[in-house]
Amino acid sequence: MAAVDLAQNTLDGLMIGSSYALLAIGFTLIFGVMRRLNLAYGPTIMAGVYLGTAAFISFGAPSLVVLAIVIIGASLVGLYVERLCFRPFGEAARTASMVASFALWMQIEEAAMHMLPQHMNPFPPLLAASPLEIGPLMLRADHLIMLAATLLLAGAVTYLLARTKLGLAIRAVIDQPRAAAIVGIHVERIMMLTFVLASAIGGFAGFLIAATDAQVTAMMGMWATTKGLVAMMLGGLGSVKGAIAGGLLLGVLEAHAQWFLGPQVRDMVAWGLLFVILAFWPGGLMGAKALDRTMAVGRRV
């Protein structure tokens, strides 16, 4: 029985964790090019989801239209955050950017609550199909879709970074922004595009998460920032593979914690784990080198 529980929890965790992984990919892209933390990332996603929700409530927009609105909405809000919190400050003014992104978090949350004053809002569900049963294990169809979509998107992001001209420019800016400018890369433009890309990925993740819950509240912003941040830190700063691993790991650990220790302990385990990782592997499990480099660059600047 315990083996079945373990397997079922692991499966559930992987599926939920896949959404954390998407959030962490977005976080890590922004952190990679900006070397600064964007606390408004979760609220950016929530704003996109809220715009989609408004269209669903007001016009009964079908899922695909809602998806498009969420992604475009999150991208535009992401652009707004970049303009206000990151573009005006240099890399050296990290604290200013982070504090400004906290201010925008509050602003976006307020705006969302004015747009849809109800605390809980309905969101079009992904699938109403009954769970699949494989032997003693149960799989939710929408969770399977979430996992598949995550893997596809992670593959697409990896391809974009590894094989395209934009990806090369992003990698060059992450690695060495000054040298990137010297070889003719428009660094600010690449930063902006990365920000929008990360926000679009976040919007996609936000859609999947809201659709599997079939409801959304303005708290989604804080939820997405914290989950994405913990998953990114677990996997390591500035690594897409690390972000995926960190997201999946966080999901699995939370699922086990919830099953064996109860829902109240679930979040405590995540925070406790983050504390242990930060204390002993401050670069994350896969990103120690990246952090060393970032810090070295910080000293040089």
Partner 1 sequence: MLEVDGLTVRFDGVEALRELSITVPTGARVGVLGPNGSGKTTLFNAISGLAGIAAGTIRLDGMTISKLAPHRIAAAGVARTFQSVRLFQRLSALDNALPSVGAASSHEARENALAALDTVGLGERRDTLAGDLSFYEQRQLEIARAIAQRPRLLLADEPTAGLSPAESDHVIALLGRAFGAETAILLIEHKIAAVEALCPRALLLIEGHVAADMPTREMMSDRDLASVYFGSRLTP
Binding residues for partner 1, rule: CB under 8 A, are: 165, 168-169, 171-172, 175-176, 178-187, 293
Give dist(CA 236, CA 247) in Å, integer. Answer: 11
Question: Would you state the structure tokens that stand for residue 147, as one six-digit string?
Answer: 């996992």
In contact, 301 and 91? CB cutoff 8 Å? yes
Q: Tell me how far apart the alpha carbons of residues 19 and 142 are, in angstroms, rounded to a whole number.
A: 12
Q: Considering the complex, what minimum distance in angstroms separates the CB of residue 168 from partner 1?
A: 6
Question: What tokens were used for 226?
Answer: 């914290």
List residues bridging with 134 in a β-sheet: 137
Q: Which is nearer to partner 1, 4 or 182 (CB)?
A: 182
Shortest spacing between CB 297 and partner 1, in angstroms: 11
Which residues, in sequence order, are bridge partners of residue 215?
A: 122
In angstroms, give the least distance from the CB of 240 to partner 1: 12
Which one, 83 or 178, has the nearer CB to partner 1?
178
Kindly state the smallest distance separating residue 4's Cβ from partner 1, in Å.
43
**From the centroid of its chain, how far is CA 284?**
16
* Rounded Cα–Cα distance for residues 64 and 70 (Å): 10
Q: Assess contact for 149 and 204: CB atoms under 8 A.
A: yes
CB of 171 to partner 1, least distance (A): 6
Tokens (6 digits) for 130: 């009954």
Q: Which is nearer to partner 1, 145 or 169 (CB)?
A: 169
In the complex, least distance from residue 245 CB atom to partner 1, rounded to whole angstroms:
18
Task: Name the nearest CA neighbour of 231 among 264, 263, 191, 277.
Answer: 277
Nearer to partner 1, 57 or 187 (CB): 187
| Nearest distance in Å: CB 5, partner 1 | 41
Q: Which is nearer to partner 1, 84 or 181 (CB)?
A: 181
Closer residue to partner 1, CB minimum distance, 87 or 171 = 171
Nearer to partner 1, 52 or 236 (CB): 236
**Alpha carbon of 225 to those of 5, 181, 214: distances in Å?**
29, 31, 20
Strands (DSSP E) contained in the chain are: 121-122, 132-134, 137-139, 215-216
